[in-house]
Amino acid sequence: MSDRIQNIISKMTLEEKAALCTGASWWTTTPIERLDVPEMMVSDGPHGLRRVPDVHMVSQDSLPATCFPTASCSASTWNVELVRKMGEALAEECIALNVDVILGPGANMKRSPLCGRNFEYFSEDPFLAGEMAASLINGIQSRGVGTSLKHFAANNQEFQRFSISSEVDERTLREIYLPAFEKAVKTAKPWTVMCSYNKLNGTFASENYRLLTEILKNEWGFEGLVVSDWGAVHDRVAALKGGLDLEMPGPQESRVKAVVEAVRSGKLDEAILNESVRRILNIVFKAKETPKKGTFDVNAHHEMARKVTAEGMVLLKNNGLLPLKGQQHIAVIGQSAQEAHFQGGGSSHINPTKVAVPFKELQIHVLDTEFSFAEGYPADNSFQQDLIDEAVTIVKTADVAVLYIALPTFKESEGYDRADLDLTQHQVALIKAVSKVQPNTVVVLNNGAPVTMDDWIDGVAAVLEGYMMGQAGGIAIAEALVGKINPSGKLAETFPHRLVDTPAFINWPGGAGKVNYGEGLFIGYRYYDAKQIPVLFPFGFGLSYTTFAYSNAKVSKKTFKDNDGVTVMVDVTNIGKVTGKEIVQVYVHDQKSGLVRPEKELKGFAKVELKPGETKTVSIPLDFRAFAFYHPAYSQWITEDGDFDLLIAASAADIRQKLTVTLESTLKLPSILDKQSTIREWNNDPLGKSVFGAFYTQIAAQGKKIFGGGENDQGGMGMDFMDMMGDMPLVSVLVFVQESLDRPADDIVDEMLNQVHNLKK
C-alpha cells in the first residue's frame, strides 16, 4: 500500500470509510474534502460515452459523444489493433467530458441469441471475447482512463436479470463463462470490474465471495476495485464480505449506517472495510493522474467509427451482384435507409455527435445513377400492405433494389430478451415481395444479434450484415456496396436456421428463480458441432470480394511440452482480383481426453491484408491453455499427454489445413482417487495403478470365478461382467469377493488410499 493511501486510511473515520464504499450520486464516488480525496466520475459505456450532465439523474439527454459500433460489430472485425484504437478514441472523449472510468466492455458470453443485450457483448466464444475485451481495455487505459469490465458473471439473459440464479457447473463456468474475464483481467488489468445483478448458483454476484474474492482477486490477481452493477447490492455488509468494494449508485444512507453498525458490533471486521477503502482510493487517485480537459476531434472519431464498421460488417451472401457497378437505376427501400439504426436501447444509448444517413451516403458513392426511395415498412409493429405495394412498384423498373432492414427496438434491447429470432412479419413480407419481382435484391441488415433468414434468403442476391453499426456505419455500408472497401468481417457468433436449433433452447429462460445452464460447455459452435446441426451461417464465416488460398501449414514443433506451446504457420494467398483481408482461425481438437470435450475450440486467430497475388505467412501461437481443460476434481486447468489436431480454418465450418501435434504434459497431478473410485479410475490413475496393479490381477481372476464373464463366458446373466466391473467402485467389487480376502474390503481400500496419499509426498 502506498504511504499516501495508508496515511489517509489511518485518518479516516469509520463513517467516512463506509461512505466511500457507496457512491455519492448516480455517477460519482464520495469525496472526502478534509483529506483531499476527490470524487471520481464514471459513465456508460461500452461503445461510446453516455455522460449524463446532471450526476443526480440516471438518464437525460447525454452530452454528444461518438457512437462506435456495438460489440457484436466490433468483435466481427477480429482486428485487435483496430479495437485497441477505438479504445484510445473512447478515452479521449472521456478526458474531454470529464469521465474517469467508462463502464465497459461487456465480456458476457452469447449463450442464446435471444439475449436482449447480446449487441453489447462480443461473442459466443470465450477466446475471441477475451481478446476483444482485453484490446479495448488496453486502448482505453493506455490514455489514463479506467474501464469497468462487466457484468461479472454468468449474466447471459435479461429475463429476471436482477434476481435469477444462473445455475452453472464449475467446469462450464471455468471454460465458457469466465475465460474472457480472466484473459482481460490478467492481461489488460481493468481498473474496475462490475459485478452482475444475477445470482450465481444461489448467491448474488454482489455477495459472492467465491467469485469476487477467491477467483477474481486471489486467483487472478485483480488489483482494481469491484463495483456493483447499478442497484445490484442487497445486503451491503454481506457484499463487503463477499469482495464488493464500491456500491453504485448512491447516496444510500441506510447502507452506510449498516456498515458502520456492523463494524461497531463486531459483525464486520474493519480490516475488510479497510481493504475496500484501499482499493477505491487507489483507483480514485490513479484516475486523477489524468487531467480531464479539452475537446475531442469529432470528425476523426467519426472516421474511426467508420473504420471499425468497415471491418466489422459481414458479407453473408453474394451471388456476384456486389459490388454494384454500372447500374442506371437503384431503388432504395426501407425506413432505416433514412433513419439509420446504429445502436441499441438501454444504458449504452448514446447521443451521437452526428449520424451518417445510409441513403445519402449511397447517393454520394454512386454518381450518375437514378435513385428512387420507398419507406417499405413502418417504424412500429403495424402491418401496412400499401408500403409493400409501393416498394414493389418502384423496384420493378430499377436495375437493383437495396433493402435496408433494421430490427426494431421493440424486438431487441437491454432490459428484455427477444421472443424469437425473426425480423418483423412486415419486413419478411417486404423482402419476399420485392425479391419476387426484382432478382437483383440486396438486403442490408441492422440488428444486434442473429436473425433467421430461411424464409427469404434464397430469393435475394446478397445479404450484408451491418449489425448495430455505429454513427458512421451508413458510410461504411455504402462503401462496401460499391466496392470502395472490401468486406472483411467474420461472424463472432453462429447464425442458426431456427430458434429450436439453438443450444439453450430447452433451458431458456428458466423459471422459479433459476435458469439451468443445462447445455454445459456446449454453446455456440461447440453445440452445433456436437449435435451435427446444420446452421445458416457458421461461427467465423464472412465473404469477401476476393478469394484466399491456404497452403504450406507448418508447426514449430511436432512434439512439445505444454508450457512451451507451439506456433502454427500457414501461407495465405490472395488469388482474386482485389485487395482484401482474411481472418485465419486455429481450432484445437483433442483426439482423446479424460473428460468429454467439445469437438474443436478456437484458440488463435490472425487478420492479414493481401494485395491480389500476394502471399503472406501467418503465425499463430498456441499456449498451455490452448490445449488444457478445467478438471473440476483437480480444481485446476490440466493437460493430458496425447495427440491434438490443429485445424487451420476460414470459418468453423471451413477447415483448410490440418496438422497433428503431440503434447507432453509437465503436470505432476495429485491423485484424486477416493473411496468411491471405480476399478477403471484406479487403473487410469498413475499413482493408483502402481499401488493397485498387482492386486487387480488377483481380483480380476477372483471376479471372473464369481461372476463368470470375460471373453467367452457371460456367466449366465447375458452381460459382460468384466466390463461392468470396471465401472464399479473398487470397494464394492471387493465386498462381492470378500470371501477370498483376508481383511474387510473397507480396510483394504483405506490402506491403498493411504499408500497413494503417501506416494504423493
255 belongs to the binding site for ligand BGC (CB under 6 A)? no
Under 8 Å between Cβ of 660 and 557: no
Applying CB under 6 A, does 228 fall inside the site for ligand BGC? Answer: no
**Interface map 683-722 toward ligand BGC (x if CB under 6 A):** ----------------------------------------
The number of CA neighbours under 13 Å toward the Cβ of 466 is 35
Q: Closest distance between ligand BGC and the C-beta of residue 416, in Å?
A: 13
Size (the chain), residues:
761
In the complex with ligand BGC, the residue whose CB is nearer, 197 or 456, is 197
Determine which residue in the list 91, 95, 103, 154 makes contact with ligand BGC, applying CB under 6 A.
Answer: 103
Assess whether 229 carries a catalytic annotation.
yes
Query: Residue 347, interface with ligand BGC (CB under 6 A)?
Result: yes
- The interface with ligand BGC within residues 285-304 (CB under 6 A) comprises none
HSE, CB side, 13 Å, CA atoms: give it for residue 712: 0
- C-beta closer to ligand BGC: residue 230 or 296: 230
- Residue 22, classed as helix, strand or coil, is strand
> Mapping DSSP to helix (H, G, I), strand (E, B) and coil, where does residue 468 land?
coil
Among 67, 585, 651, smallest CA distance to 315 is for 651
Q: Which of 432, 461, 436 is nearest to 319 (CA)?
A: 461
CB-based contact 106:46 (threshold 8 Å): yes
Residue with smaller CB distance to ligand BGC, 136 or 402: 136
State yes or no: residue 730 binds ligand BGC (CB under 6 A): no
Q: Closer to ligand BGC by CB, 55 or 402: give it.
A: 55
Contact pattern for ligand BGC over residues 43 through 62, marking x by CB under 6 A: -xx-----------------
- With a CB cutoff of 8 Å and minimum separation 6, the contacts of 495 are 316, 450, 451, 453, 535, 536, 537
CB 373 within 8 A of CB 359: yes
| Closest CB to ligand BGC among residues 103, 281 | 103
Is 489 among the residues that bind ligand BGC (CB under 6 A)? Answer: no
Question: What distance in Å separates the CA atoms of residue 272 and residue 469, rounded to the nearest whole number?
Answer: 44
Query: Any long-range contacts for 351-354 (C-beta under 8 Å, 24+ apart)?
Result: 351/50, 351/61, 351/62, 351/63, 351/64, 351/65, 352/48, 352/64, 352/65, 352/66, 352/67, 352/471, 353/64, 353/65, 353/66, 353/298, 353/301, 353/302, 353/471, 354/298, 354/302, 354/471
The reply on whether position 441 binds ligand BGC by CB under 6 A is no
User: Measured between alpha carbons, how far is 142 from 696 in angstroms, rounded to an integer?
Assistant: 61
In whole angstroms, the minimum distance from the beta carbon of 287 to ligand BGC comes to 17
Using the rule CB under 6 A, is 526 a contact of ligand BGC? no
Contact (Cβ atoms closer than 8 angstroms) between residue 430 and residue 451: no
The yes or no reply on residue 279 touching ligand BGC (CB under 6 A) is: no
> x/- binding map, residues 176-215, to ligand BGC, per CB under 6 A?
----------------------------------------
The CB-of-721 to ligand BGC minimum distance in angstroms stands at: 57
C-beta separation of 523 from 176 below 8 A: yes
Beta-strand relationship, 514-516 and 400-406: unpaired
Determine if 311 is a binding residue for ligand BGC (CB under 6 A).
no
What CA–CA distance (Å, rounded) separates 94 from 384?
Answer: 44
Smallest separation (angstroms) from ligand BGC to the CB of 45: 6
x/- track of binding to ligand BGC for residues 15-44 (CB under 6 A): -----------------------------x
Min CB(467)–ligand BGC separation in Å: 19
Name the minimum Å distance from CB 106 to ligand BGC: 7
Non-local CB neighbours of 219 within 8 Å, separated by 6+ positions: none
Q: Return the number of the residue (62 or 678) whose C-beta is nearest ligand BGC.
A: 62
Residue (103 or 691) nearer to ligand BGC, CB:
103
294: cis peptide before it, omega within 30°?
Answer: no
> Which residue is nearest to ligand BGC, using beta carbons?
347
Among residues 100, 125, 229, 590, the one annotated as catalytic is 229
Q: Of 208 and 347, which CB lies nearer to ligand BGC in the complex structure?
A: 347
Q: Spell out a b/e string for 23-48, using b for 16 or more CB atoms within 10 Å of the CB, else e.
A: bbbbbbbbbbeeeebebbbbbbbbbb
* 229 lies in the site for ligand BGC, by CB under 6 A: yes
Q: Shortest gap between Cβ of 148 and ligand BGC (angstroms)?
A: 7
Does 150 bind ligand BGC (CB under 6 A)? Our answer is yes
Task: Choose among 114, 116, 185, 179: nearest CA to 148.
Answer: 185
Task: Report the alpha-carbon distance of residue 23 to residue 43 in Å, rounded.
Answer: 13
Peptide bond into 105 cis (omega under 30): yes
Minimum distance between the CB of residue 208 and ligand BGC, rounded to whole angstroms?
17
Least distance between ligand BGC and beta carbon 517 (Å): 20
Give min distance, CB of 347 to ligand BGC, in A.
4
Closer CB to ligand BGC, 248 or 305, in the complex: 248
Q: Is 230 in the site for ligand BGC (CB under 6 A)?
A: yes
The count of chain residues that interact with ligand BGC, using the rule CB under 6 A, is: 8
Residue 494: name the closest of 456, 530, 444 by CA.
Answer: 530
Q: Which is nearer to ligand BGC, 129 or 722 (CB)?
A: 129
Map the footprint of ligand BGC across residues 56-95, applying CB under 6 A: none
Helix axis angle, 253-264 relative to 270-288, nearest 10°?
130
Query: Which residues are the active-site residues?
Result: 229
Judged by the rule CB under 6 A, the positions of this chain that interact with ligand BGC are: 44-45, 103, 150-151, 229-230, 347
